[in-house]
């Protein structure tokens, strides 16, 4: 069944929408879910339809969370009464998000909220004044350490050993996927969108289609080129997706992988290699931090990673942490315990009172 968010939206005259009713449950005020007259008059549906599939999935989850907050858990995004929102509602949502999520996540969710309210205004479901007031929300300030982790070189080695030990086509494909995720710094959605025509075997040039339709160039060299050559030997030179699904029988299916299949293959190889769980983005994070550790210029690394702002790239820079650890080692505490005088039995005898 097709996703209604993908279907083109018809342009019609907006119909009058019933006002959302506010009910009182104890001391809390919650909005009542509502049914919109048509999908193209639903501000959440219109907003999501204008996003790319990867962004649509993330923002719909964010809208579902906020719809639950606004309706006391009774509604999801497509039946939330977004046109009824006023400043008191959106400011309460902001306060809850600020207390629950990291600043980056909370601000992304607020961006989705603003986007839906903007669509409500464009659909004549919300006045310009109410829209301006409801979206007059300050950015949530704060900073947090980057999520996830970097992989160590021995972990990468063990992953590739696990792949090469698998003599099926899946082992060859997975070795190429892991190598590309690391040495080109690909996002999960970028690797599944790669086409055979994007890769020039002679020069190693790889065209990557990133966020917002932006393209960048990466280079496939060394062991990664060898791993990809082995996969292409099995795949052939046919046009289409660079990486294909593989059936249990070992047969190759000439179609695009899914985002979930990337997670699955990494989980499988991590288990085989005895490597701690990691995500596709952890390989990208390792790509950035390892390049910076090796002395690559941060502006160049930002271009290779497809970061619009070098500040994003700098979040993965481990050198300041190493410098802080080195500085901390300069301070010495003159603690020299005499182990012979430390009692080994700290129990309290019957009738004795322990003091602290």
Could you tell me which residues are beta bridge partners of residue 177? none
Q: Which of 167, 190, 130, 146 is nearest to 177 (CA)?
A: 190
Could you tell me which residues are beta bridge partners of residue 208? 216
Catalytic site positions: 187, 211, 281, 284, 307, 316
In terms of Cβ atoms closer than 10 Å to its own Cβ (0-12, 13-18, 19+), residue 142 is: exposed
Tally helices (H) and strands (E) across the chain.
Answer: 14, 4
Q: Using the 8-state DSSP alphabet, how is residue 244 labeled? A: -
Query: Cα–Cα distances in Å, from 17 out to 38, 42, 119?
Result: 10, 10, 15
Q: CB under 8 Å, gap of 24 or more: what pairs does 313-321 form?
A: 313/288, 315/146, 316/146, 316/150, 316/285, 316/288, 316/289, 316/292, 317/289, 317/292, 318/150, 318/289, 318/292, 318/293, 319/292, 319/293
- Alpha helix positions (H), the chain: 43-49, 53-71, 87-100, 103-122, 128-134, 153-165, 169-183, 188-193, 222-235, 259-273, 280-293, 298-305, 310-314, 319-328
């Amino acid at each position: 069944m097709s996703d209604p968010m993908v279907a083109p939206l018809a342009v019609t005259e907006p119909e009058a929408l019933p006002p959302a009713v506010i009910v009182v449950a104890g001391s809390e005020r919650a909005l009542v879910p509502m049914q919109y007259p048509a999908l193209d008059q639903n501000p959440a549906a219109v907003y999501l339809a204008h996003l790319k599939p990867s962004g649509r999935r993330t923002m719909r989850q964010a809208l579902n969370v906020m719809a639950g907050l606004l309706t006391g858990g009774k509604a999801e995004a497509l039946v939330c009464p977004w046109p009824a929102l006023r400043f008191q509602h959106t400011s309460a949502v902001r306060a809850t998000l600020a207390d629950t999520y990291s600043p980056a996540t909370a601000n992304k969710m607020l961006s989705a909220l603003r986007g839906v309210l903007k669509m409500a205004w464009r659909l004549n479901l919300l006045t310009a004044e109410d829209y301006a007031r409801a979206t007059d929300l300050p950015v949530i300030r704060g900073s947090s350490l980057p999520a996830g982790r970097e992989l160590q070189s021995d972990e990468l080695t063990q992953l590739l050993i696990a792949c090469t030990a698998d003599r099926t086509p899946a082992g060859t494909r997975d070795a190429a996927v892991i190598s590309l995720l690391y040495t080109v710094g690909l996002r999960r959605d970028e690797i599944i969108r790669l086409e055979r025509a994007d890769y020039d075997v002679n020069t190693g040039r790889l065209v990557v289609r990133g966020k917002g339709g932006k393209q960048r160039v990466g280079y496939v060299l060394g062991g990664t080129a060898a791993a990809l050559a082995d996969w292409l030997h099995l795949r052939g030179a046919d046009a289409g997706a660079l990486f294909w699904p593989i059936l249990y029988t070992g047969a190759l299916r000439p179609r695009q992988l899914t985002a979930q299949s990337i997670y699955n293959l990494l989980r499988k190889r991590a288990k085989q290699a005895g490597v701690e769980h990691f995500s596709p983005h952890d390989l990208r994070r390792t790509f950035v931090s390892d390049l910076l550790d090796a002395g690559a210029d941060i502006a160049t690394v930002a271009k290779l990673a497809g970061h619009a702002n070098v500040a994003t790239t700098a979040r993965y820079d481990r050198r300041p942490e190493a410098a802080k650890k080195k500085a901390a080692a300069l301070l010495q505490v003159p603690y020299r315990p005499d182990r012979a005088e430390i009692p080994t039995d700290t129990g309290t005898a019957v009738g004795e009172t322990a003091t602290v």
